[in-house]
């Protein structure tokens, strides 16, 4: 109960094995967070807000296409 059966120390000697409890270094997460995280936010913008309050593309095609999803996922639509 007090001690983990697989202590984090095991992983450092075990080469490629990573204990479930050893934190991943933040510098390994950061590049992914910056590039992929930003891309994901852009995707969310197109689902949630494009051609509503603000528009990257003119017209209403994107808004119309994701319209029902936008409402049901909770975004203000129109």
Partner 1 sequence: MQTSTVRTLLVRGMIAGVVAGLLAFALAYVVGEPSIDSSIALEESQSAPAHEHDGAAGAPAEEEEELVTRPVQSTFGLATGVLVYGVALGGIASLAFAICLGRVGRLRPRATAALVAGAAFTTVYLVPFLKYPATPPAVGNPDTIGKRTTLFFLMIVLSVLVAVTAVIAGRRLAPTLGNWNATVAAGGGYAVVMALACLLLPANTDAVKETFPAALLWEFRLASLGVQALLWTAFGLIFGALAERVLRPAGGQAAGQGPETVTGTPAARAG
* Contact between residue 63 and residue 52 where contact means Cβ atoms under 8 Å apart: yes
Residue 60 interacting entry, from partner 1, Zn ion, none, C-beta within 5 to 8 Å by type: partner 1
Q: What residues line the site for partner 1 (CB under 8 A)? A: 1, 3-6, 8, 10-11, 13-26, 28-29, 31-33, 36-37, 40-41, 43-44, 46-49, 52-54, 59-61, 64-78
Give the Cα separation of 14 and 42 in Å (integer).
Answer: 39
Give me the least distance between CB of 62 and partner 1, in Å please: 10
What's the N-to-C CA distance of the chain in angstroms?
Answer: 54
User: Which position has the token pair 């590049």?
Assistant: 31
* Residue 33, binding choice from Zn ion, partner 1, none, Cβ under 5 to 8 Å by partner class: partner 1
């Amino acid at each position: 109960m007090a001690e983990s059966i697989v202590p984090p120390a095991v992983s450092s000697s075990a080469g490629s094995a990573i204990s479930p409890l050893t934190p991943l270094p933040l510098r390994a997460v950061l590049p992914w967070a910056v590039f992929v995280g930003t891309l994901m936010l852009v995707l969310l913008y197109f689902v949630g807000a494009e051609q509503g309050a603000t528009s990257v593309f003119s017209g209403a095609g994107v808004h119309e296409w994701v319209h029902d999803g936008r409402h049901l996922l909770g975004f203000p639509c129109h």
